[in-house]
Amino acid sequence: MLLAEIKKGQQAEITAVQASDFREKLLEMGCVPGARVSLALRAPLGDPCAYMIDGYCLSMRKKEARLIEVKIITGE
């Protein structure tokens, strides 16, 4: 499952970050395998979204969120 697909109330764990020009930046921002993540806010038109990642809020576009693979831990 991709980070862009999680719903409010679900908690997930990052399993991988796909290769891209933006990969290194995502890793530097804390999107590393094993980090817990949940959807905090979604813009009215659905893009961008804010995610809680290990205790801090990170906003990103769906394009970037589609690069992050997750597995659901809890939620709907």
Q: pLDDT at position 9, please?
A: 85
Residue of 70 and 46 predicted with greater confidence? 70
Compute φ and ψ for 5, nearest 5 degrees: -95, -10
Burial class for 28, CB neighbours closer than 10 Å (0-12, 13-18, 19+): exposed
Give the pLDDT score at 54: 85
**Taking the model in full, what pTM does it have?**
0.86
Closest CA to 30 of 8, 3, 63, 48: 3
pLDDT in tens, 11-53: 999 999 999 888 999 898 889 999 999 999 999 888 899 999 9
Q: Which domains does the chain have, with CATH numbers?
A: 3-74 (2.30.30.90)
- How much is the pLDDT for 45? 87
- Which pLDDT score is estimated for 75? 53
The Cα-based distances of 35 to 9, 49, 69, 72 in angstroms read: 17, 17, 11, 12
